[in-house]
Amino acid sequence: MATHSRQHALTQARLLFNQQGAVPGGVVAEPILRSWRRCADLGFDMRGVRRAELMTQGELREAQQRNEALRRLSEPAMSYLRRQAGGSGNLVILSDAQGLVLDSDGDTGFAHRASRVALMPGAPWDEAAAGTNAIGTALVEGRATTVHGAEHYFEPNRILTCAAVPITDSEGRTLGVLDLSSQARDVRPDVLEQVRAAVDVIEHRLFEEAYEHHAVLRLHGDHSGLGAPGEGLLAFQGDVLIGANRRALHALGLAATALGVYRYADVFEGELERCPDAAGRVQTRAGTTYHARLRWPRSRPPKSPVTPALPAVDAPRLPGGMRTPSFDAATLGALARAVHLSDAGVSILLQGETGVGKEVFARQLHERSKRATGPFVAVNCAALPESLIESELFGYEEGAFTGARRQGSKGLLRQAHGGVLFLDEIGDMPLTLQSRLLRVLQTREVSPLGAARPVLVDFALVCATHRPLAHEGADAPVRPDLYFRIAEYTVTLEPLRTRADRLELLRGLWAAQGAGPVLPPTIEAILARYPWPGNYRQLAAVLRTLHVLAGPSGMVDMDMLPAELSPAGSRDAAAGSPLLSSEPSNLQSMTDAAIRDALASHEGNVSRAARALGVHRSTIYRRAAALGLLRLR
């Protein structure tokens, strides 16, 4: 009775869709309804039939040869799925990534009936050819799909019930689709899981063959699952993650953009060559533990992995020699996307307060990009004198102006050729030069001062700013046309005070200082509560000071803390801490108070106040001017 009621509801839904282009809510699943709309947009009539587009035998053989590896690795899984389905009236179908049926295996009687609707090798089953169907709709939706009877768009296809799962490689690319089709009356609730299990077998074999010469890490929640098709698989070149199957990506919460960008330490605790631990486990940075097994390639011993494509580059350091701050999951995800976009020629704009690590982010982008072997040229637009910025950026020929060096100057833009150009505080570049920079970005040519001909340049562009740039008017820091050229993709780096894991981060950065005493819990609590207006730069400076004062075998005392972090000062800061209130006005007032205190403590000396706060002098000058503090020198 339920089946009959469902068929009646679908019949009514098809009638309404034909007449009004709409269906009552809940009658048709959203993926099916989206597919119906796509078919309607193509001008298809539900009461019609699909176009006859069968390939010739010669064309089919060519398509099969192009997909020989997929067919070879899928054959055992197709046989397995046919046995699991059992009985008569079933057909296992393998298509390519365009929906062309390559092979079929199953009941010959049902295969003959299915051939009446062209469900056979050589027939295209993408939506544009066959309307709503499991193979074509799974390709469009990018996920496992079931289409029952009258859910098929074309009337003749309602004799089928089909379940299809895309087959993807270790880089997230779709290679084909595996489908199990049967008579419409034979609806089994576990059919999609059966097909998914068969696809796991195919993808497992694809992964093993693709990465036999790389280190492969196997993961599973159950030790007995290691080595089976349902395990997570990760491939590494050196310590760089270069491949992962669907199971691993899902379990670790990673996007395909992580591949080629993330390092082992971005995902797991410890080092690749020391995993798994004595208990045969690995722990993710999020705290999840998995049973694991690491297989090294036979061609190399498990020692000191190297990455030929990514040469060794010293990690960027913060003041005091501290290595790059530990990126959280959101920032790592943004980094991965930025790397892939930069490699594709997209300009990146980094936004964030002073000290949040914009240059560190840019250097990590360079180190993990295809341009890692090229130079990284950093230009602080706020630090270059306006009288010199043009010659410093664009270079000049011998004799271009009085005082020019005899051999001329290449200029920073040409120095970045083949690598990454990082323009920090782009909003402080004089407007008169912004038009010249825009022309360089559009033409990829630099015209040095005094040169007769322009010079070709090739670099990836990353810009950074501590203030909003996207507005017009006389006070706009950058021209609108330049803004849209440099901000093709924007990453906003959050301030240190917003991180929920500040205590863990603090302990990691303290340990990175080297041998020394343990931070007392009271001082840890003060440091973790403080809002850090200077962000990572200020934190690094304070930790370095404490480390030096304590010495390798001493202890950290309360009186070693800067004045603004003293118990009284920290209580004041905690009162307005974003843990209790995150109003921008409160955060700005805390920043202004810290600047006032630092200037007072250092008798108005801007340089010493900036060093104490771990911020650039320009930040002190800007805020001091806004606050009306005149005793600056």
Lowest mean pLDDT among 28-37, 137-146, 413-422, 598-607: 598-607
Angle subtended by helix axes 617-627 and 606-613, to nearest 10: 110
What would the CATH number be for the domain defined by 57-208? 3.30.450.40
Q: Would you tell me how many other CB atoms lie within 10 Å of the CB of residue 625?
A: 11
CA–CA separation, 229 and 208 (whole Å):
11
H helix or E strand, kind and range, residue 243: strand 240-244
Q: Does residue 281 carry a pLDDT above 80?
A: yes
Distance of CA 21 to the CA centre of its chain: 38
Work out whether strand 348-351 and strand 489-492 pair parallel, antiparallel, or are unpaired: parallel
**Residues 575, 579, 583, 588: is their CA dihedral positive or negative?**
positive
> Mean pLDDT over residues 80-106, rounded?
89
The reported pLDDT for the residue numbered 116 is: 85
Q: Which residue has the higher pLDDT, 273 or 612?
A: 273
Round to the nearest angstrom and report the end-to-end CA distance of the chain: 89
Residue 474 has pLDDT above 70, yes or no: no
State the Cα–Cα distance between residues 318 and 336, nearest whole angstrom.
Answer: 21
pLDDT at 565: 81
pLDDT of amino acid 364: 95
Higher pLDDT, 11 or 243: 243
How would residue 628 be classed by pLDDT, with cut points 50, 70 and 90?
low
Dmax over CA atoms of the chain, in Å, equals 96
Q: How far is CA 8 from the centre of its chain?
A: 46
- For residues 469 and 430, what is the distance between their CA atoms, to the nearest angstrom? 14
What's the pLDDT band for 517 if we cut at 50, 70, 90? confident
Q: Which residue has the higher pLDDT, 247 or 89?
A: 247
Rg of the chain taking only CA atoms, in angstroms: 31
Model confidence at 87, pLDDT cuts 50, 70, 90, reads low
Instruction: Look up residue 329 and give its two tokens.
Output: 């999951």
Highest mean pLDDT among 9-23, 254-268, 465-479, 557-571: 254-268
Structure tokens at 126: 């993408």
What value does the mean pLDDT take over residues 149-155? 92
H/E element, 167: strand 160-168
Q: How far apart are CA 190 and CA 252, in angstroms?
A: 26
pTM of the model: 0.74
Same CATH topology for 57-208 and 320-492?
no
Using CA atoms, how far apart are residues 145 and 166, in angstroms rounded to an integer? 9
Q: What is the pLDDT at residue 391?
A: 77
The pLDDT of residue 49 = 81
Strand partners, 94: 103, 178
Report domain extents, the chain.
Answer: 57-208, 211-295, 320-492, 496-627
Average pLDDT estimate for 337-341: 96
What pLDDT band is residue 385 in, cutting at 50, 70 and 90? confident
* pLDDT score of 7 more than 90: no
pLDDT of residue 4: 64
CA 420, CA 438: separation in Å to the nearest integer? 17
Tell me the C-alpha distance between 341 and 335, whole Å. 10
Is omega for the bond preceding 276 within 30 degrees of 0, making it cis? yes
Handedness of CA 560, 561, 562, 568 (dihedral sign): negative
* Residue 514 confidence (pLDDT): 81
Q: What is the 3-state secondary structure (H, E, C) of 544-612?
A: HHHHHHHCCCCCCCHHHCCHHHCHHHHHHHHHCCCCCCCCHHHHHHHHHHHHHHHHHHCCCCHHHHHHH
What's the pLDDT at 172?
82
Does residue 92 carry a pLDDT above 90? yes
Mean pLDDT value across residues 563-582: 53
600's CB contacts (< 8 A; 6+ apart) are none
Whole-number Å distance between alpha carbons of 424 and 537: 15
pLDDT surpassing 80 at residue 591 = no
Average pLDDT rounded to a whole number, residues 161-176: 92
CA-nearest of 562, 533, 582 to 354 is: 533
Indicate the average pLDDT of the chain.
83
Handedness of CA 620, 625, 630, 633 (dihedral sign): positive
How would residue 416 be classed by pLDDT, with cut points 50, 70 and 90? very high
Above 50 in pLDDT, residue 336? Answer: yes
Alpha-carbon span 434 to 469, nearest angstrom: 13
If you average pLDDT over residues 308-325, what whole number do you get? Answer: 41
Whether the CB-CB separation of 375 and 418 falls below 8 Å is answered with yes
Question: What pLDDT, on the 0 to 100 scale, is given for residue 493?
Answer: 94
- Residue 358, helix vs strand vs coil: helix
* Closest residue by Cα to residue 191 from 128, 148, 240: 148
* pLDDT surpasses 90 at 339: yes
Mean pLDDT within 304-319: 39
CA 375 to chain centre: 23
pLDDT score of 361: 95
Degrees (nearest 5) of the Cα angle 264, 269, 272? 40
Cα separation values, 585 from 547, 576, 590, Å: 33, 10, 9
pLDDT in tens, 20-44: 877 777 788 999 999 999 999 999 9
Statement: residue 387 has pLDDT above 80: no
The average pLDDT across 149-154 equals: 92
Question: Does the domain at residues 320-492 carry the CATH identifier 3.40.50.300?
Answer: yes
Looking only at the bridges linking them, the beta strands covering 101-106 and 90-96 are antiparallel
- List the helix and strand counts (H, then E) for the chain: 23, 19
Average pLDDT (215-228) is 95
